[in-house]
Amino acid sequence: MIEMTEDRCEIGEILSRGECVLPVVYRKYRDTGEVVALFPTLPADDMGHVTSYMHVGQHSGANYGHVVGHTSIATRQDYAVLERELKSRGYENLKAYRRETPRMQEERRKYRKTYWVRRD
């Protein structure tokens, strides 16, 4: 049996209970009820924004703190349709979290440093 390690995971994935998972934080906008998926380990740019996904508009960059400030935690029932859409678009190994962790922030920083080099 091969022991799983972080370096065997895909970009943005972390090791959780022996499996590589892609963390996702589902949030629900208080004013519209729309659900957004935030990917705290996947940077959208070199400025620290996370990759996000919504049914309307689909992929975008998002300021994690701003979104959290304007939303509430989405329930499984709230995000079920969006999660199915993500899986149909090829997202695998999704694992829902209530909030990002310092480990997820570090993974995003590591990826950002590797793939986005600022050219001033």
Q: Is residue 83 part of a domain?
A: yes
Average pLDDT over residues 9-26: 84
Residue 18 structure tokens: 């022996």
Q: Is residue 44 part of a domain?
A: yes
Q: What percent of the chain has pLDDT above 70?
A: 87
Q: Is residue 6 part of a domain?
A: no
d(CA 9, CA 85): 23
61-88 exposure pattern, b = at least 16 Cβ within 10 A, e = fewer: ebebeebbeebeebeeebbeebbeebee
Instruction: Between 47 and 88, name the one with better pLDDT.
Output: 88
Residue 110 has pLDDT above 90, yes or no: no
pLDDT given at position 1 = 34
> Measuring CA to CA, how many Å separate 40 from each of 3, 5, 31, 45, 104?
25, 20, 23, 12, 6
Q: Is residue 2 part of a domain?
A: no
Q: Is residue 28 part of a domain?
A: yes
CB 36 within 8 A of CB 52: yes
pTM: predicted TM-score of the whole model, two decimal places:
0.85
Q: Is residue 26 part of a domain?
A: yes
Encode pLDDT of 50-67 as tens digits: 999 998 878 999 999 999
Residue 2 has pLDDT above 60, yes or no: no
Question: Structural domain tally of the chain?
Answer: 1
Q: What percent of the chain has pLDDT above 90?
A: 53
Q: Is residue 85 part of a domain?
A: yes
pLDDT given at position 96 = 96
Residue-number span of the structural domain to which 37 is assigned? 19-113
